[in-house]
Amino acid sequence: MNSKGAALAQQLVPSTYVQQGLDAVRSREKLVTSLLAQRRLPDEGWDDASVELLLHTLSAMDSNNFRGSAGAGEREARVFSPLVARRHFYLAHGVGRSGDVAAVQPKAAGSSLMVQVANALAKDVLRLAGMRAVQAALVLPVATGMSLTLVLLQLKESKPHARYVIWPRIDQKSCFKSILAAGLTPLVLANVLVEEEDGRPGGFLKTDLAGMTALMDQYGSDSVLAVMSTTSCFAPRAYDCVEEIAKLCQERNIAHVINNAYGVQASKCVHQVELAMRTGRVDAAVQSLDKNFMVPVGGAIVCSASREVVNRVAQLYPGRASATPTLDFFITMLQMGKHGYKRLLEERKHLAAYMREQLEALAADEGERLLHVSNNEISFAMTLGTFCSNIMDLQEKSRQLTLLGAMLFSRGVSGARVVSCLDHKTIAGHEFNAFGAHHEAFPVAYVTFACALGMQRGEVDLLVTKLRKTIHEWRTKQAKAEATASTSPSESELEHGK
């Protein structure tokens, strides 16, 4: 409401009331001014009403919402469905421009402003989490896998004849496929198994730095475009030792991309990425929006210690894109605030410790244990050594273990992964023994659980209760099956266990 409006309002409502009301409106404007000035997360999260007021103001600045204008272009952001228009807060022009996905749009000043601030907030939140070396960040409207592809395509522009990407094995399809999609050839580097000190079957997996050096030597710096390392992953794989990789890459003039998928939430992980950036070569790190910042799936942040790399990725992107991942992130950062985000990080840390304790207790009860993986603060692997130990048929063993996973899912535990170390998979011609285990001969089957940002204590308790119950049911089933030589589980029973 402008001053003329305020004067008129005072003819209808006493001026002291109107003034106090307008003071409140002004204080919200100050929030906005402060956001635009600092381009950082607000200390305290904004309430819904403040966010909506800002978004409605921004959308009023986009040409598709101008009153009394004539749209004579081929793209005027007309929206047919009011349901759709509303869910976008009337912002319909997307992000970017043909030249650059981070560019501002003449027709959409409001959307453009939102995008610029969102990218600044992305940088701020990464730095808040501990990645102080980050100098530029970009919210990409595609998820982690596709973002990695874009980064690789961009790297390829300046080294068009290099066709290999060294990839320390991580059994997750998206990142592997991100290399293939870029038209590049992955060189799979097996992980090193570090066995348990007490000699029991287990251990953890770490980067084979010697093997990586050998590969670099074998193929040569001209042929190897990049190393794609991975931090956050399922135990018992540890974070890749990105600091050492960064040094190797710097020495050999090979690019280094870190798939830091959901690593922002874990302080040790963040610290290692930070060290890598400070002491070696990290062209870019990619992190998932949904996993780190609790928004719906669809975006990622690519960041770098160099503004130039980030700009080049933005400029590679051909054309416009959906504003949704950026908008979701923007809203969430405003509502979370710096204190809210710090609190979430803190809570996750404590909850992970609690989850570890609870799972260790359960494992002990079941004659199993949690694998010790120092460089993995998010995922826990509990051995299943006593499960199916007497089944000799490996295929049958794999099926029975998969059944445990399926049973967990259908009993309301999502995200648990049973790894039999017995599954073979072919992806685009590449063979992976014991897919899921990140290693072709991991010595014991296990099941993993993650403690991710936003998990609740009640969920951990529920998980442990349900896990205990499901194991019992599974064992009972096994006992019966042995007694009666029953058939193995059906395909449909197994669906969710895969």
Q: What are the binding residues for substrate?
A: 97-98, 105, 320
Burial of residue 11 (number of CB atoms within 10 Å: 0-12, 13-18, 19+): exposed
Size of the site for a second copy (CB under 8 A): 164
Of 201, 220, 296, 367, which one interacts with a second copy (CB under 8 A)? 296
Residue 369's nearest CA partner among 391, 355, 352, 385 is 385
Smallest separation (angstroms) from a second copy to the CB of 213: 27
Q: Does the footprint of a second copy cover residue 49 (CB under 8 A)?
A: yes
Name the residue nearer to a second copy (CB basis): 133 or 170. 170
Listed ranges 207-215, 249-257, 320-328, 364-372: which one lies at the site for a second copy (CB under 8 A):
320-328
Tokens encoding 46 = 């904004």
Smallest separation (angstroms) from a second copy to the CB of 318: 3
Residue 450's nearest CA partner among 262, 230, 229 is 262
Of 40, 41, 91, 434, which one interacts with a second copy (CB under 8 A)? 91
Q: Does the footprint of a second copy cover residue 429 (CB under 8 A)?
A: no
Backbone angles phi, psi at 45, to 5 degrees: -65, 150
Q: Rule CB under 8 A: which of 381-410 touch a second copy?
A: 409-410
Of 138, 151, 172, 248, which one interacts with a second copy (CB under 8 A)? 172
Of 40, 41, 65, 376, which one interacts with a second copy (CB under 8 A)? 65
Q: Does the footprint of a second copy cover residue 290 (CB under 8 A)?
A: yes
Smallest separation (angstroms) from a second copy to the CB of 372: 19
Name the residue nearer to a second copy (CB basis): 217 or 461. 461
Encoded one letter per residue, x for contact with a second copy by CB under 8 A and - for no contact, window 70-89 reads: xxxxxxxxxxxxxxxxxxxx
| Buried/exposed code over 83-106 (b: 16+ C-beta within 10 A; e: otherwise) | eebeebbbbbbbbbbeebbbbbbe
Q: Does the footprint of a second copy cover residue 481 (CB under 8 A)?
A: no
Residue 426's beta-bridge partner residues? 431
Smallest separation (angstroms) from a second copy to the CB of 485: 25
Q: Does the footprint of a second copy cover residue 446 (CB under 8 A)?
A: no
Q: Does the footprint of a second copy cover residue 61 (CB under 8 A)?
A: yes
Q: Does the footprint of a second copy cover residue 158 (CB under 8 A)?
A: no
Listed ranges 167-175, 197-205, 239-247, 279-287: which one lies at the site for a second copy (CB under 8 A):
167-175
Interatomic CA distance for residues 432 and 419, integer angstroms = 14
Name the residue nearer to a second copy (CB basis): 113 or 192. 113
Q: Does the footprint of a second copy cover residue 47 (CB under 8 A)?
A: yes
Smallest separation (angstroms) from a second copy to the CB of 184: 9
Of 141, 168, 186, 436, which one interacts with a second copy (CB under 8 A)? 141
Of 389, 414, 426, 487, which one interacts with a second copy (CB under 8 A)? 414
Residue 177 — left, alpha, or beta (φ > 0 → left; ψ -120 to 50 → alpha)?
A: alpha
Q: How many CA atoms lie within 13 A of 427 on its CB side?
A: 21
Residue 30 one-letter amino acid:
K
Of 40, 102, 112, 224, which one interacts with a second copy (CB under 8 A)? 112
Backbone angles phi, psi at 43, to 5 degrees: -60, -50
Interatomic CA distance for residues 146 and 300, integer angstroms = 9
Of 272, 379, 383, 398, which one interacts with a second copy (CB under 8 A)? 379
Of 135, 221, 335, 488, which one interacts with a second copy (CB under 8 A)? 335
Tokens encoding 48 = 């819904």
Name the residue nearer to a second copy (CB basis): 29 or 196. 29
Of 450, 471, 474, 489, which one interacts with a second copy (CB under 8 A)? 450
Q: How many CB atoms lie within 10 A of CB 241?
A: 21
Q: Does the footprint of a second copy cover residue 209 (CB under 8 A)?
A: no
Interatomic CA distance for residues 468 and 247, integer angstroms = 45
Backbone angles phi, psi at 424, to 5 degrees: -110, 140
Interatomic CA distance for residues 160 and 306, integer angstroms = 21
Those residues whose C-beta lies under 8 Å from the C-beta of residue 484, and which sit 6 or more positions away, are none
Annotated binding site: 75, 97-98, 105, 278, 320, 411
Q: Rule CB under 8 A: which of 244-283 touch a second copy?
A: 261-262
Q: Are 39 and 117 in contact (CB under 8 A)?
A: yes
Q: Rule CB under 8 A: which of 174-203 touch a second copy?
A: 174-175, 177-178, 180-183
Q: How many CA atoms lie within 13 A of 374 on its CB side?
A: 6
Q: Does the footprint of a second copy cover residue 156 (CB under 8 A)?
A: yes
Q: How many CB atoms lie within 10 A of CB 195?
A: 12
Q: Are 306 and 298 in contact (CB under 8 A)?
A: no
Q: Are 165 and 258 in contact (CB under 8 A)?
A: no
